[in-house]
Amino acid sequence: MQTAAYVYEQQPIDPTELSVWMRDWAIIGFLTCALAPGLVATLISGELWPFAAVASCLGAVSGSAVGWMLRSLLNRVPDWSWVAVSLFAGVPALGAWGALVSGCAALLTVPHMLVFAVPCGTVSALLQCSWMAPAYAMLARAGWSRLPMVVLGPLVAGPLAGMLCIATVVSTLQLVNQL
């Protein structure tokens, strides 16, 4: 009696493809971290502009690392499972990425806003990346260009995520104050 076992052979990553993933996620990190807090800075307080500048720089640098990690993770699984893996493993990690970037930016610029920045960064990254990571993986698997989605996605979703962050955190603070 023989049992059928599926063994996946890991393929080496093309350095050009890896650099595209790193570039794309650096752009996503920069635009998301610039636009979501930029909107918050415009609506709430002018003192948050340094936060938005630092967050966008941290988002770009760490976004490059995120692109490398995502591509390395997806290299370990079969091509047909990229979308599912990027959805179930990538999205929570990207939410943590948003919390880390916004927390570091807050500590460097406006430490008194840390309690506000970390949840906003998490929500913003989850809203932005929950649809972008699987869509990016699907386009990459098909061999299509991801650059239009990389640029246009954050331009639309970044400000939307910023508004939803404001609404989420403000309503949560009001709920906590009522308790």
Q: What is the pLDDT of residues 103-138, one digit of tens each?
A: 999 999 988 888 888 888 888 888 777 788 888 888
- Are 55 and 105 a contacting pair, CB within 8 Å? yes
Residues 31-47 have pLDDT tens digits of 888 887 766 666 666 67
With beta carbons less than 8 A apart as the criterion, state whether 71 and 18 touch: yes
Structure tokens at 82: 């990229």
The tens digit of pLDDT for each residue in 51-104 reads 888 999 999 999 999 899 888 888 888 877 888 888 787 788 888 998 999 899
For 111, the domain range is 15-171
Establish if 6 belongs to a structural domain.
Answer: no
pTM summary value: 0.80
In a domain, 39, yes or no: yes
Total count of domains within the chain: 1
178 in a domain, yes or no?
no
Q: Per the domain annotation, does 97 fall within a domain?
A: yes
Q: CA angle 135-140-145, nearest 5°?
A: 95
Average pLDDT (12-24) is: 80
On whether residue 9 sits in a domain, the answer given is no
Q: What is the pLDDT of residue 57?
A: 93
Tell me the C-alpha distance between 29 and 116, whole Å.
19
Confidence of residue 23 (pLDDT cuts 50, 70, 90): very high
Residue 158 lies in a domain: yes
Pairwise CA distance, residues 123 & 118, whole Å = 9
In a domain, 166, yes or no: yes
Return the pLDDT at 45. 63
Residue 176 lies in a domain: no
Residue 149 token pair: 């989605």
Give buried/exposed letters for 3-18 (b at 16+ CB in 10 A, else e).
eeeeeeeeeeeeeeee
